[in-house]
A = this chain, B = another copy of it.
């Protein structure tokens, strides 16, 4: 090695040793003939002092050091003395005094400094990703990502799972999101598709007897990107045979405890709390509740059904609901303008026509509409809401589903705005008993809530004829900090049940073959009972690190337009490449 120590490891214990360090010149300053350089590598920073009274050549060279030059120094570890110690730095007790300097490589003036005070704009940072990736914060992200995957691998390895690679060049399926396609050169007019997940392969592996499979798998979706999506993302993918739902949930409880222990050194309490789908919809309005804070949805429909406020009364009268949130101590936090504009807009985006609000004063209400409620009604509302003097109450009156969606969004917004939680806290829970199917009123049919291979709760087989909306799937989501952090199900292995579901979903035999051909084929040749789950790795790193930006946890991410600004991808290609693939570009006139 060109070094004997890293820039992160020298301490007072090392004083007197001669060491060789390599790294990047971070801050530098010339202090009356002594040049100081903060030398940086991914392990830390060490102060180098060039005290070269007798070596004017080295002195000249040291004075020429600029940001991001790569240097090698050999010198003595020296105590900085009490007055010059830097307690903010792990190596702050010492410095390395040297007159032996080698410039390994010069750097052009970087467009921004990795440890600069202000973050450069993201486009520039993505373009110069090799410099941005020197930021200690990003290096920490990559390190934690590595620790997480290592933890996952060790856990499953110890439990006898096999890590099995599945193809990236797969077959296009008309299911779900849009596929990325890869034209075949050998087979004219034919295409591979990049996998949206290894779902079919992991089920095939169970049919093939692999029993316990996991993979940290790359997946691809050609979707219009939201802030937290990437065209390629990574999934911790798991499937097990001869198991029931409890086995999967407890396996994943154990995984999370291991991840938290390995990465944070703390204990996660397991088993994780478990909620039914119906319960979280009632209490939080969403199947992805953020449980780091309370502020649950409360239904006051019965209390306002006869009130003088027409909007509430009429909503309840026509079968709708009036539900709301009690925002503790927030009565004076938000102006009428903010409530009538910003907050109303949030609920409006989820279909609500308006937002009603009150301040709690004593055990009564205050607002422009408070007058429509008599004293008893006000008291009852405050009591139901658990309101106290100074709380803010907000309400949506609408169909049940709209109150759910609107208040769930508002709840998240308020909690973030009021900093009701620690962004690095991990709060995980299971949501189980999702409905198997949802009614698609527009097309007058039933759609699968997850996919058509979810097993059915054994108590609910009777509802296939009477009321399909009541059939619960043996599916489960892990929700963490308001995100779907994992999702899975027990799969159907019984061809008769599978047929019932296809019938319910109105999928005819021919269509089923076309859409799921090779899996259906495999299931006929001795499929064991099996089930599985997948965790979004990128999301888990984000949650561990408390960041909302998915591009912070991926070394070479793409923009929301699916571009890689550093390498310039996608790009045009040579005509002969397209000719080889028997395709041509076909732009609209």
Binding site for B on A (CB under 8 A): 1-3, 22, 24, 40-43, 68-70, 72, 104-108, 110, 128-131, 133-134, 139, 142-143, 145-146, 149-150, 153, 157, 162-172, 174, 178-194, 200-201, 204-205, 207-211, 218, 220, 222, 231-232, 234, 241-244, 247, 493-494, 517-518, 522, 524-529, 554-556, 558, 561-564, 566-574, 577-588
Which 5 residue pairs across A and B have the least CB separation, nearest first? Answer: A107-B526, A133-B208, A171-B569, A190-B570, A184-B570
> Do B577 and A209 touch across chains, with their CB atoms under 8 A apart?
no
Q: For the complex formed, measure the closest distance between the CB of A399 and the CB atoms of chain B, giving whole angstroms.
A: 34
User: Can you list 15 A-B contacts (CB < 8 A)?
Assistant: A42-B209, A70-B528, A107-B525, A108-B525, A167-B569, A171-B570, A178-B185, A180-B182, A182-B182, A191-B572, A191-B573, A192-B570, A518-B568, A582-B588, A584-B586
**In the complex, what distance in Å separates the CA atom of A377 from the CA atom of B437?**
90
> Do B181 and A577 touch across chains, with their CB atoms under 8 A apart?
yes
Q: For the complex formed, measure the closest distance between the CB of A456 and the CB atoms of chain B, giving whole angstroms.
A: 16
- Contact flag A171-B568 (CB < 8 Å), given A105-B526, A164-B142: yes
**In the complex, what distance in Å separates the CA atom of A548 from the CA atom of B568?**
39
- Contact flag A524-B561 (CB < 8 Å), given A171-B571, A567-B170, A577-B172: no
- Which chain B residues border A222 with CB–CB below 8 Å? 185
A189 — nearest CB in chain B belongs to which residue? Answer: B585
**In the complex, what distance in Å separates the CA atom of A151 from the CA atom of B469?**
49
- Contact flag A234-B182 (CB < 8 Å), given A70-B526, A153-B150, A170-B564: no
> Do A130 and B525 touch across chains, with their CB atoms under 8 A apart?
yes
> Do A2 and B168 touch across chains, with their CB atoms under 8 A apart?
no
**In the complex, what distance in Å separates the CA atom of A178 from the CA atom of B207?**
35
Given contacts A169-B232, A181-B182, A186-B562, 17 further A-B contacts (CB under 8 A): A1-B242, A69-B526, A70-B526, A110-B525, A131-B208, A133-B210, A143-B162, A150-B163, A164-B555, A165-B218, A167-B558, A171-B570, A180-B182, A181-B183, A181-B581, A188-B585, A583-B583
- Contact flag A3-B242 (CB < 8 Å), given A131-B525, A174-B574: yes
- Which chain B residues border A180 with CB–CB below 8 Å? 169, 182, 192
> Do B104 and A528 touch across chains, with their CB atoms under 8 A apart?
yes
Q: Identify A105's interface contact among B142, B162, B178, B494, CB under 8 A.
A: B494
Q: For the complex formed, measure the closest distance between the CB of A172 and the CB atoms of chain B, giving whole angstroms.
A: 5
Q: For the complex formed, measure the closest distance between the CB of A162 and the CB atoms of chain B, giving whole angstroms.
A: 5
Among A2, A107, A170, A586, max chain B CB count under 10 A is at A586
Among A128, A186, A577, max chain B CB count under 10 A is at A186
Q: Identify A41's interface contact among B129, B209, B232, B524, CB under 8 A.
A: B209
**In the complex, what distance in Å separates the CA atom of A314 from the CA atom of B556?**
61
Q: For the complex formed, measure the closest distance between the CB of A42 and the CB atoms of chain B, giving whole angstroms.
A: 5
> Do B555 and A165 touch across chains, with their CB atoms under 8 A apart?
yes
> Do A583 and B580 touch across chains, with their CB atoms under 8 A apart?
no
**In the complex, what distance in Å separates the CA atom of A344 from the CA atom of B40?**
62
Q: For the complex formed, measure the closest distance between the CB of A321 and the CB atoms of chain B, giving whole angstroms.
A: 40
**In the complex, what distance in Å separates the CA atom of A244 from the CA atom of B579?**
44
**In the complex, what distance in Å separates the CA atom of A571 from the CA atom of B518?**
13
Among A2, A70, A133, A234, max chain B CB count under 10 A is at A70
A210 — nearest CB in chain B belongs to which residue? Answer: B42
- Contact flag A166-B563 (CB < 8 Å), given A242-B3, A577-B172: no
**In the complex, what distance in Å separates the CA atom of A533 from the CA atom of B134?**
23
Q: Identify A587's interface contact among B41, B185, B188, CB under 8 A.
A: B188
- Which chain B residues border A172 with CB–CB below 8 Å? 571, 573, 577
> Do A204 and B130 touch across chains, with their CB atoms under 8 A apart?
yes
- Which chain B residues border A165 with CB–CB below 8 Å? 218, 234, 554-555
**In the complex, what distance in Å separates the CA atom of A116 from the CA atom of B186?**
34
Q: Identify A162's interface contact among B107, B146, B192, B527, CB under 8 A.
A: B146
> Do B189 and A587 touch across chains, with their CB atoms under 8 A apart?
yes
- Which chain B residues border A108 with CB–CB below 8 Å? 524-525
- Contact flag A2-B244 (CB < 8 Å), given A163-B146, A182-B194, A493-B105: yes
**In the complex, what distance in Å separates the CA atom of A588 from the CA atom of B584?**
12
- Contact flag A68-B526 (CB < 8 Å), given A181-B183, A569-B170, A584-B583: yes
- Which chain B residues border A142 with CB–CB below 8 Å? 162, 164, 210
A167 — nearest CB in chain B belongs to which residue? Answer: B556
**In the complex, what distance in Å separates the CA atom of A587 from the CA atom of B558?**
33
- Contact flag A567-B242 (CB < 8 Å), given A70-B527, A525-B131, A556-B166: no
Q: Identify A242's interface contact among B2, B107, B167, CB under 8 A.
A: B2
